[in-house]
C-alpha cells in the first residue's frame, strides 16, 4: 500500500495536522543545523512540464537535507504522453526511484502517474490543484495563529488551482473563506461540490463573491495570485483589464481585519495583482510562505515515504 498527494483531499484533517507538526520540527532542526536524514539513501524524481524556481529548489534542497538525492527531469527528458506514454514512464521510474514529484499542466497526468507507479507521487502543481503550496501557506498561518479552525480568510483574483486547493483545505479544517473573482473566473463548481461533506462536518463557510471589498471585510488573511497563470500568456492583456479592480493594495487591505496577513504564492507581478507597499509591508508574510515550501514539502515526503510499502 502506498500513499500519494494528488490533492489536498488525499490527507485527512488529522494527517494535515501531523504534516504541520513534522514540518515545524524539521524546520527547527534545519535552523539548528541539526542532521535529520529521515530519507537517507532515497531518491526523488522531479518531473517538470512547467519551470519553477520555488518548486525545484525546495524539493531538491529538501531531499538533500533529508539525506537523499533528487533528479531533475525537464520536459525534453521525458515528453510525457508524446515521446513516451505516462504509463511507460511511471513504470520505469518506479523501478528506479522512491518518490516522484510532478509539476504538470493536466491533473490527469498526476493522477495517471499515481495510478501506475507503486511509489508515492506528489502533485507539485497541476491545472486543478497546488497542494504543496497550500500546505506551506497554511503552515505559515498556523505558526502565527495556532489553530486554523474558525479563522476567516479571503481570496482576491482568479479562481485558479491555488484557490482550488485552498477551498478544499479550508473546508477540511473548518475555516471560513470568501472568494472574490470577476464573472467567468470563479473556481470550478466541481471543487465547490467536493467541499460539501467537509463543510457540514467542520462548520466551514465558503462564499464566492464579485466584490473584493466584501470578500476581505473581516478577513484575517488575504490571498492573491497572478492574474494569468503559466500557459495563459496570450490572455494576459485581456485579463489585466478585467482584474484591475481586484488588485490587493493599501485601500483594499484597510477593509480587512486590523493586522490581517497578506499572502502570495509567487512569482508576483508587482503593480498588477499586488502593490509593492503591500507585498513589502509589515503585514506581508510572502517570503515566510516561500520559505515554508521547503519545510512543508520535506514533511510531505517523509510522511508519504513512511506510510508507503511496495
Candidates 112, 127, 198, 225; catalytic one = 225
Fold of 8-130+293-306: Rossmann fold (3.40.50)
Among the listed residues 183, 163, 136, the one whose alpha carbon sits nearest the alpha carbon of residue 226: 163
Q: What are the grid coordinates assigned to 271, written together?
A: 503593480
Q: How confident is the model at residue 310 (pLDDT cuts 50, 70, 90)?
A: low
Q: Which helix (H) or strand (E) holds 303?
A: helix 286-306
Intervals of CATH 3.40.50.1370 along the chain: 8-130+293-306, 133-289
Beta-strand runs (E) in 55-199: 69-73, 99-103, 121-125, 152-156, 176-180
Span 92-103, mean pLDDT?
97
- Sign of the alpha-carbon torsion through 145, 147, 150, 153: positive
Tens-place pLDDT, residues 133-170: 999 999 999 999 999 999 999 999 999 999 999 999 99
Q: How confident is the model at residue 298 (pLDDT cuts 50, 70, 90)?
A: very high
Tens-place pLDDT, residues 26-66: 999 999 999 999 999 999 999 999 989 999 999 999 999 99
Instruction: Note if 293 is an active site residue.
Output: yes
Please tell me what DSSP assigns to residue 262: E
Instruction: Note if 264 is an active site residue.
Output: no
User: What is the model's pLDDT at position 121?
Assistant: 98
Candidates 103, 142, 172, 239; catalytic one = 103
* Residues 6+ away with beta carbon under 8 Å from 145: 151, 220
User: What is the model's pLDDT at position 97?
Assistant: 98
Instruction: Note if 269 is an active site residue.
Output: no
User: What is the model's pLDDT at position 232?
Assistant: 67
Q: What are the grid coordinates assigned to 286, written together?
A: 510572502
Instruction: Note if 6 is an active site residue.
Output: no
Q: Is 231's pLDDT higher than 70? A: no
Instruction: Note if 103 is an active site residue.
Output: yes
Q: How confident is the model at residue 230 (pLDDT cuts 50, 70, 90)?
A: low
Q: How confident is the model at residue 83 (pLDDT cuts 50, 70, 90)?
A: confident
pTM: 0.96
Candidates 65, 133, 247, 297; catalytic one = 133
Candidates 54, 194, 293, 295; catalytic one = 293
Tens-place pLDDT, residues 261-277: 999 999 999 999 999 99
Mean residue pLDDT across the chain: 96
User: What is the model's pLDDT at position 171?
Assistant: 98
Pairing of strands 261-264, 152-156: unpaired
Span 187-209, mean pLDDT?
97
User: What is the model's pLDDT at position 228?
Assistant: 79
Candidates 127, 132, 194, 265; catalytic one = 265
Candidates 42, 130, 172, 239; catalytic one = 130
Domain 133-289: which CATH number of 3.40.50.12280, 3.40.50.10490, 3.40.50.1370, 3.40.1190.20: 3.40.50.1370
Instruction: Note if 163 is an active site residue.
Output: no
Amino acid at each position: 500500500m502506498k500513499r500519494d498527494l494528488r490533492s489536498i483531499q488525499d490527507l485527512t484533517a488529522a494527517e494535515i495536522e501531523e504534516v504541520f507538526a513534522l514540518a515545524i520540527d524539521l524546520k527547527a532542526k534545519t535552523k539548528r543545523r541539526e542532521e535529520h536524514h529521515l530519507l537517507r539513501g532515497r531518491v526523488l524524481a522531479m518531473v517538470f512540464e512547467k519551470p519553477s524556481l520555488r518548486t525545484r529548489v525546495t524539493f531538491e534542497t529538501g531531499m538533500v537535507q533529508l539525506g537523499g538525492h533528487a533528479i531533475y527531469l525537464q520536459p525534453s527528458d521525458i515528453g510525457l504522453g508524446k515521446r513516451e506514454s505516462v504509463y511507460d514512464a511511471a513504470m520505469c521510474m518506479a523501478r528506479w526511484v522512491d518518490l516522484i514529484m510532478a509539476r504538470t499542466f493536466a491533473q490527469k497526468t498526476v493522477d495517471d502517474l499515481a495510478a501506475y507507479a507503486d511509489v508515492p507521487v506528489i502533485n507539485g502543481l497541476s491545472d486543478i490543484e497546488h497542494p504543496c503550496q497550500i500546505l506551506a501557506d497554511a503552515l505559515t498561518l498556523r505558526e502565527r495563529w495556532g489553530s486554523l479552525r474558525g479563522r476567516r480568510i479571503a481570496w482576491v483574483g482568479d479562481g485558479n488551482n491555488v484557490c482550488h486547493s485552498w477551498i478544499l483545505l479550508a473546508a477540511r479544517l473548518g475555516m471560513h473563506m470568501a472568494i472574490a473573482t470577476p464573472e467567468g473566473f470563479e473556481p470550478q463548481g466541481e471543487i465547490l461540490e467536493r467541499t460539501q461533506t467537509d463543510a457540514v462536518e467542520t462548520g466551514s463557510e465558503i462564499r464566492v463573491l464579485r466584490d473584493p471589498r466584501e470578500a476581505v471585510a473581516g478577513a484575517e488573511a488575504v490571498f492573491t495570485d497572478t492574474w494569468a497563470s503559466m500557459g495563459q500568456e496570450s490572455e494576459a492583456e485581456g485579463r489585466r483589464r478585467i482584474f484591475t479592480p481586484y488588485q490587493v493594495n493599501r485601500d483594499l487591505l484597510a477593509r480587512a481585519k486590523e493586522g490581517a496577513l497578506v499572502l502570495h504564492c509567487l512569482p508576483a507581478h508587482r503593480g498588477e495583482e499586488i502593490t509593492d507597499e503591500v507585498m513589502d509591508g509589515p503585514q506581508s508574510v510572502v517570503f515566510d510562505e516561500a520559505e515554508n515550501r521547503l519545510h512543508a514539502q520535506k514533511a510531505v515526503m517523509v510522511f508519504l515515504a513512511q506510510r508507503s510499502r511496495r
